[in-house]
Amino acid sequence: MVFASPISPSYSCHLSSKDKELLYFKAKGTKLSTINKIYPFSLLQRSHFLKVDFSSQWERGESSKFRKSAAVTSKEYSLDGAIENIQLPKGDCWSVHKFGGTCVGTSERIGNVAEIITADQSERKVVVVSAMSKVTDMMYDLIYKAQSRDDSYLTALDAVREKHKLAAVDLLDGDNLASFLCKLQDDINNLKAMLRAIYIAGHATESFSDFVVGHGELWSAQLLASAVRKNGVECKWMDTREVLVVNPTSSNQVDPDYLKSEERLEKWYSNNPSKTIIATGFIATTPQNIPTTLKRDGSDFSAAIMGALLQARQVTIWTDVDGVYSADPRKVSEAVILKTLSYQEAWEMSYFGANVLHPRTIVPVMQYDIPIVIKNIFNLSAPGTMICRSSGNEYEDGQKLESLVKGFATIDNVALVNVEGTGMAGIPGTASAIFSAVKDVGANVVMISQASSEHSVCFAVPEKEVKAVADVLESRFGQALSAGRLSQIAVIPNCSILAAVGQRMASTPGVSATLFTALAKANINIRAIAQGCTEYNITVVVKREDCVRALRAVHSKFYLSRTIIAVGIVGPGLIGGTLLDQLKDQTAVLKLKFNIDLRVMGITGTRTMLLSESGIDLSRWRELLSAKGEMADMNKFVHHVRGNHFIPNTVMVDCTADSDIASHYYGWLHRGIHVVTPNKKANSGPLDQYLKLRTLQRQSYTHYFYEATVGAGLPIISTLRGLLETGDKILRIEGIFSGTLSYIFNNFTGSRAFSQVVEEAKEAGYTEPDPRDDLSGTDVARKVIILARESGLQLELSDIPIQSLVPEPLRASASPEEFMQKLPQFDQQLATQRQEAEDTGEVLRYVGVVDVVNGKGTVELQRYSKEHPFAQLSGSDNIIAFTTERYAKQPLIVRGPGAGAEVTAGGVFCDILRLASYLGAPS
């Protein structure tokens, strides 16, 4: 029997009478004459019922006519009319291009590819082309429908024909168009007959499937070749099943046979010499001349194999992205295009899920040091990414972190399996038995981690395979579990793998520490770690829900992108509103100069809150809060601000003076949310709650900043910590901590009445709406308690004696207005104290004192000589004096504005930036 196709090689098939009697379809009642019409020889070749010899004979020219020739009984591949004296040149004269399905997805794009090929100045070139976009999936769908006995496979086949017919009509004309359409129809007829056979059998062998699916590349290669010739460039098209020989493996992959492929390529070229060759990707043949495919991503593999066979100068992979990204840009919007990657780096990133190349694509070109360039067909000006052997000077002293860690990749939907037991230690063959069992169920081990104690072996597998793995391990090691030699076989589901990839990364001190610190500061818990001695990657396993945050955290830490922090503002009042305005004015500068991206994801007051998925427009926050605000709900607010997995770090900024808000700090810190606040209530509240809060903060990588609680924008807390951390011993802290009371007593001079000065301070905005909140001294006492606790004293607020400036009869006044109206009645008492001080050359000042030596604190009105620093203040300045063992003779003085929305908001802003620095922003 002889079958022919204008596009496929003609085949001959000799069936013995015994073979014919054994045919499967005879049992189905199908006539042998029907079978002879529908089965190309190459597919029947796989059947154990048949013993056949075959040949394929081609004659190529402009019209690509094929001979319907007699069979060649020898199994050796042959070509009619081969010109023996034409040698295949090799080396730098060749360049290889590969265009994927997207690149040739439409007739217009095929035309664009033809233009690129025409413009390429290489002396010789091979262009490997995939099937048109979606065609491979359409072909697989044909097979699925046919073997499912779904009659719609006929309609689907018509759609395949129509797609290529329309492309041909757009691209070609005249005889070329007529010739292609004729060949296309002949192939469709053959495919229809083959699919009918699959329909009857209800099954398709791998050979049948490979033969059907490979037609997409045959058609696209011929269309492109015709388009290139139309541009005036002489070219030949190659069915790579005539050239590439591969050996299928048990792992659903194939291994190229380079020796046989090279022999066939030389014979093919001898018969079809050309400087431009359009070759089919994806398809090949077995040593038995049975059509097969290179499996998924096979076209890239085809290009790499052709590059190796020709020892080409370069292999260019054309795709729809500008190159290889440092991370998945869908997860890390700041991901950057990498200019170069070593073969090993590309290999590692590909294995761990990066959209680079299949790892096997890199193998053929490494032998000859052939660079691979990833280019964007839709952005020809982009330089792309070059994958090549790394040069030694790339890692000289002074290198930056980003040159060491080239990129990050992730694998989702994996599960950890932990086999643990004391009986494993020192027992040869335990690991072998574990992984032999895993192999028996066909599971793929993605990562392995084992402690040196040999007490446990931990490995990751795809989540869909973990049940089978767990079942086989429990069955295989049932006796060991019963006897106690193994304590458990545990499965940890819902995991993801994060890999950091970079040449010589592990040999550079600090890189691993930086990686793990970035994860810790983002509150990411690491489930398992693996690192090979090749030093190309560090792999960690994290919770699936933490994967994107982990990826963004490490990407940001290595200066590949900005340090992004999700900000929630609680209390958009005077201080909170001023802070939002300051953030608005500084956001662009922070991004441009300091690589810090502060995104306010939510603003909440007592009644209304405003939420945003990408960040609130701070130029309109008041308008948006009023127009689009919703009912305030603290739990929903926190969940929203914290819930964006694309932002690894979150900070809550409490700008209120509310003790209820302060009670949330512990829960926020426990969830990995950083806290910045000028609110004094948490640090001056009940001692046990304060100690619990500080213990949690010290034991975690979550930060709690509260500089503005004591001195607004003055560096009081940081100065005190600096003294303690450097070994100094605090003896006494004394200061004027209230900007309001500083203003009042700086202006309480001469014959001015105390009530008059208080009224003036109230009108100027220095006091609280109710001046009694300032005059009571409680606010100063809270600052004293904060500093006392920072100094190591465990005091309660009730332990601090407070001299209140609110006259006893007025403490129960019904309103601030009533208080102010009656305050002049009590001016004389303070006027008398002022006069007594002036008579001795002194002034009155309202101070707070932390007496560390005696373990106590006080808040009271004291007298100081006019030469004392406390007497030199003006306006609403604060002043704090630190007496320590180092500063015993002359205290360390911190002085400056201590009140007002601008300086307080500035102090809070400074804490936010300090947090950004701790989280990885450059200092």
Q: Which residue has the higher pLDDT, 487 or 19?
A: 487
Q: Which of 45-59, 323-337, 364-378, 437-451 has the highest mean pLDDT?
A: 364-378
What pLDDT score does 431 carry? 82
What pLDDT score does 15 carry? 33
Q: How would residue 533 be classed by pLDDT, with cut points 50, 70 and 90?
A: low
Q: What is the rounded average pLDDT of the residues 375-393?
A: 86
Whether pLDDT at 9 is above 90:
no
Helix, strand, or coil here: 447?
A: strand
Residue entry with tokens 């032998």: 367
What pLDDT score does 594 carry? 87
Question: Can you tell me the distance from the alpha carbon of 256 to that of 807, in angstroms, rounded to the nearest whole number?
Answer: 96
What pLDDT score does 700 carry? 79
Q: How would residue 72 be classed by pLDDT, with cut points 50, 70 and 90?
A: very low
Question: Can you tell me the distance from the alpha carbon of 315 to that of 294, in angstroms, rounded to the nearest whole number?
Answer: 18
Q: How would residue 919 be classed by pLDDT, with cut points 50, 70 and 90?
A: confident
Whether pLDDT at 772 is above 80:
yes
Question: Can you tell me the distance from the alpha carbon of 758 to that of 178, in angstroms, rounded to the nearest whole number?
Answer: 99
Q: Which residue has the higher pLDDT, 561 or 891?
A: 891
Whether pLDDT at 398 is above 70:
no
For residue 748, give Cα distances in angstroms to 538, 816, 833, 834, 914: 67, 21, 11, 8, 38
What pLDDT score does 425 carry? 66
**Which has the closest alpha carbon to 501: 359, 397, 373?**
359
Whether pLDDT at 560 is above 70:
no
What pLDDT score does 158 carry? 96
What phi and psi, each to the nearest 5 degrees, are found at residue 432?
-60, -40
Q: Which of 59-73, 416-430, 473-487 has the highest mean pLDDT?
A: 473-487
Whether pLDDT at 129 is above 60:
yes
- Cβ contact 246:294 at 8 Å: yes
Q: Per the confidence metrics, is the pTM higher than 0.85?
A: no
Q: What is the rounded average pLDDT of the residues 324-332?
A: 88
Q: How many residues are listed for the chain in this entry?
A: 923
Percent of the chain with pLDDT over 90: 65
Whether pLDDT at 31 is above 90:
no
Question: Can you tell me the distance from the alpha carbon of 754 to that of 136, in angstroms, rounded to the nearest whole number?
Answer: 89
Whether pLDDT at 18 is above 70:
no
- The order of strands in the sheet holding 877-884 is 856-865, 842-851, 730-736, 877-884, 892-897
State the alpha helices, DSSP H only, in 726-826.
739-747, 754-763, 772-775, 778-790, 816-822
**Residue 276 β-bridge partners:** 125
| Residue 37 a catalytic site member | no
Q: How would residue 824 be classed by pLDDT, with cut points 50, 70 and 90?
A: very high
Q: Where are the beta strands (DSSP E) in 399-487?
A: 407-420, 447-450, 456-462
What pLDDT score does 333 carry? 79
Q: How would residue 468 be classed by pLDDT, with cut points 50, 70 and 90?
A: very high
Q: How would residue 426 be classed by pLDDT, with cut points 50, 70 and 90?
A: low
Kind and range of the H or E run holding 690: helix 687-699
Q: Where are the beta strands (DSSP E) in 61-112?
A: 94-99
Whether pLDDT at 887 is above 80:
yes
DSSP tag of 799:
G
Q: How would residue 646 be classed by pLDDT, with cut points 50, 70 and 90?
A: confident
Whether pLDDT at 441 is above 60:
yes
What pLDDT score does 57 carry? 31
Whether pLDDT at 81 is above 80:
no
Whether pLDDT at 651 is above 70:
yes
Lowest mean pLDDT among 250-254, 471-475, 603-607, 652-656: 250-254
Q: How would residue 697 be classed by pLDDT, with cut points 50, 70 and 90?
A: confident
> ∠ CA(805), CA(808), CA(813), 5° rounding?
100
Whether pLDDT at 76 is above 60:
no
Q: What is the pLDDT of residues 204-227, one digit of tens each?
A: 998 899 999 999 999 999 999 999
Q: What is the pLDDT of residues 715-753, one digit of tens each?
A: 999 999 999 999 999 999 999 999 899 999 999 998 899
Burial 610-627 (b: 16+ CB within 10 A, else e): bbbeebbebeebeebbee
Catalytic residue, from 125, 521, 783, 822: name it. 783
Mean pLDDT of all residues in the chain?
A: 86
Whether pLDDT at 249 is above 90:
no
